[in-house]
Amino acid sequence: MKHSKLIYSIIYSIIYSIVVTGLLCFSSACSSHAAEIDSTVLTFNKDVAPILWQNCVSCHRPGEIGPFSLTTYQDVAKRAKFIAEVTGDRRMPPWKAEPGFGEFRDEHRLSDKDIKIIADWVSQGKREGDKNDLPPLPKFTPGWRLGQPDLILKMPKPFTVPADGRDILQCFVIPIPITSDRTVAAVEFRPGNNAVVHHSIYYLDSLGQARKREAREKGYGYRTFGGPGIIPTGALGGWAPGAEPYFLPEGVGKLLRKGSDLVLQIHYHPSGKIETDQSSLGIYFSRKPVDKLVGGIAVSNRSIRIPPNEKNYKIEASSAPLPVPVKLLSITPHMHYIGKEMKTEAKLPSGQTIPLIWIKDWDFNWQGAYRFAKPVSLPKGAIIQVHAVYDNSEDNPHNPSTPPKLVRFGEQSTDEMCLCAVQVITDNMNDMKKIVRMRNNRFGALLGGGLIAQEENLNPEKKEGKEEIINEAIFPQQGFTIPERFKDFLSTYDLDHNGRIEKSEFDKMPNSLRNRILIVMRDRQKSRNP
């Protein structure tokens, strides 16, 4: 018995010592960990400033589009809680593309670690820290970043932006003084007033449509919503804050036809005081022969009929199968105010899918072109698919209609679009011609760089090829009234100048244009009778 008690006593002592030792070790570890956390004191100069310098001050500095500067500790400290909030829910920086679904250049996305550093710095009391830890502010190159352009196209005179009110999309028509067709290797946009210039797009017009529209408008330039208000004959790209200008690879260029006008569309955001802007675009021509021209593919769905109070209305769109292999250079999703989400991917003939871009929190004011980190190769037969979601409810603060109403396809603020455009290159020009002729790809080919030859597709005097006309039975016998936004273009075919296109006038149009009109009519009939 005494022997058993002795054994129990020894076992109890061993267990007790193990438990106590473990508790002491755990306590020591906790104390050590707590001391480690306490010693990790975050400061503005050492921890926060590098994040802001890299991701924020390109816009948030004096004279730029950001509503306040973030270039000093004092600037940041007085807005610290707000900064933690808008970075925490990823409202800022305004990079909309989801991580892991396509890789892009010039990404302004904070990591989870960066967001936590900002939040913890605020909760710790916003310490400034040792001034020796503060890195120098980034150097923003004055003048032209790519060097002196070969051609500078500047707005003829300053444009006045009011102090307040809604954002403005204004188009300025600038003649391009070249005497022969050229290829463009790079463009660089210089905003005349960073405080109000939100973004810009560079359309081309070789038919004089924009000149006619500008002549009808009162004032300087003309105002639009969404597109340029004409059918462009090409485009050279666009700019948004943070975007870096770049040269296309050697041997690759964008077509610029002689006789074209630059239609410079600028999105202005009032700053709270009356401002003026006189922006300019620098053009850099190709130095060496070009054997590859940039083209485009536009994936869209015009059959839009979104009922009121629908919070998750889904619309799908697909391209025709690619007739040849391509490489994607950039991608530009586009919706209007009730757009909610857009996901675009490529489906390969093998059944595999390649993610291209996914925007889960659409914002019309923060749309733009996303340039792939590396060209994305797609084989012949691949299909580009678009999945879009719309919120046409009262809960959508961006909904332009109160109460919500039925929304159809169109270019006005109360209309909607489902469009995703990609810029592409091919192995040779014969392949690019096949991309240009893809089914339902006129708009994409135009925006890709003007690859549709004016004399082949847009000149009414040119004899047509063998393009087959789709069913003409849907054309109304009484004709149709020319929509306001297409008057500059379609008035060419309004031979009796009555503001309508009659059947006899319609028959004189190029087959490609007749097909475009018939497709729109067919889609509208489908939307009315789903």
Tokens linked to 303: 């059959």
Cα separation values, 285 from 74, 202, 260, 289, 290, Å? 45, 16, 15, 11, 11
* Residue 163: predicted pLDDT: 93
Q: 219: Cβ–Cβ under 8 A, 6 or more apart, which residues?
A: none
What is the four-CA torsion angle of 246, 256, 435, 233, rounded to 10 degrees? 120
Q: 164: Cβ–Cβ under 8 A, 6 or more apart, which residues?
A: 270, 272
Tokens linked to 90: 């990823």
Please report, in tens digits, the pLDDT of each residue of the chain (530 residues total).
Answer: 444 443 334 333 433 333 333 333 333 443 443 334 344 899 999 999 999 998 898 889 887 767 899 999 999 999 999 999 999 988 888 888 898 899 998 777 888 999 999 999 999 999 999 999 999 998 887 778 899 999 999 999 999 999 998 888 899 999 999 999 999 999 999 999 988 888 898 999 988 889 988 988 877 999 887 678 888 888 898 887 767 788 998 889 998 989 999 999 998 988 889 999 999 999 999 998 888 889 889 999 988 999 999 999 999 999 999 999 999 999 989 898 999 999 999 999 999 999 999 999 998 877 778 989 999 999 999 999 999 999 999 999 999 899 999 998 877 778 898 999 999 999 988 898 888 888 877 667 666 655 554 334 333 333 334 444 456 667 887 888 888 767 656 766 777 778 889 888 888 776 667 777 887 787 777 666 65
Closest CA to 45 of 103, 117, 131: 131
* Residue 16: predicted pLDDT: 35
DSSP assignment of 179-196 equals: SS-EEEEEEEEE-S-TTT
Helix (H, G, I), strand (E, B) or coil at 174: strand
Burial label, 76 (beta-carbon count in 10 A; 0-12, 13-18, 19+): buried
Q: What is the CA radius of gyration of the chain?
A: 29
* Residue 462: predicted pLDDT: 36
| 300/277 Cα distance (integer angstroms) | 34
Read off φ and ψ for residue 273, nearest 5 degrees: -145, 160
DSSP assignment of 57-100 equals: TTTSSTTSSSSS--SSHHHHHTTHHHHHHHHHTT-SS---BPTT
Taking only the tens place, the pLDDT of each residue in 208-223 is 889 988 988 877 999 8
* Residue 391: predicted pLDDT: 97
* Residue 36: predicted pLDDT: 41
* Residue 150: predicted pLDDT: 97
* Residue 505: predicted pLDDT: 83
Read off φ and ψ for residue 38, nearest 5 degrees: -60, -30
User: Residues 420, 443: contact at Cβ < 8 Å?
Assistant: no
* Residue 350: predicted pLDDT: 96
* Residue 512: predicted pLDDT: 62
Taking only the tens place, the pLDDT of each residue in 184-240 is 999 999 999 988 888 898 999 988 889 988 988 877 999 887 678 888 888 898 887
Cut 0.75: pTM above it: no
